[in-house]
Amino acid sequence: MSRLHSGMAFRRLFLISIFMFIVGCGVFQKAERIALPIQTDLLNPVAGYQGETLGATVEGVQPVDDGYMTEVMVVVPVTTESIETVAVVDKSGRRIHFKKQPEINSEGEEQMSVVLYFGKQPPIPFRLRLNYPE
């Protein structure tokens, strides 16, 4: 009977040491958001238009640079740690090129804004692809 108790004590000690090792390595620490690829559904470049997939909202559409470009600001709820790349595609999935590099701004902990610069006429409709590989 004493061998049985010493075996159980050893097993308990072993499991406790494994648990302490895992906790010490940070396996159970708070998960951090990372730059995962996400995309919006099709958005229309109309102020106030809100997509359903991510809840992305077109906050503003205005001509800039004496009307040679159109600035479109889209606010995206934060579901990833950062936005590293921004691509825009049309409804058939073809990539649309910008007149000027997009601006990515943090709007607090819960949302980010992406400012896009198109030619005179923005594509209708368009989809944002964030953190997608090129």
31-57 confidence digits (pLDDT tens) = 455 566 788 899 999 999 999 888 899
Among 68, 66, 55, 61, smallest CA distance to 110 is for 55
CA atoms within 13 A on the CB side of 69: 15
Q: Give residue 35's pLDDT.
A: 62
Domain 38-130 annotated CATH 1.10.260: no
pTM across the whole model: 0.68
Burial 48-79 (b: 16+ CB within 10 A, else e): ebebeebebbbbebeeeeeeebbbbbbbbebe
Q: Give residue 17's pLDDT.
A: 67
Q: Give me the residue label for tokens 């606010």.
A: 75
Domain ranges of the chain: 1-30, 38-130
Separation of alpha carbons 126 and 130, rounded Å: 13
Sheet holding 38-39, edge to edge: 38-39, 126-130, 86-90, 95-96
Asked if pLDDT for residue 59 goes beyond 80, the answer is: yes
Asked if pLDDT for residue 117 goes beyond 70, the answer is: yes
Q: Token pair for residue 60?
A: 């503003």
Amino acid at position 79, single letter: T
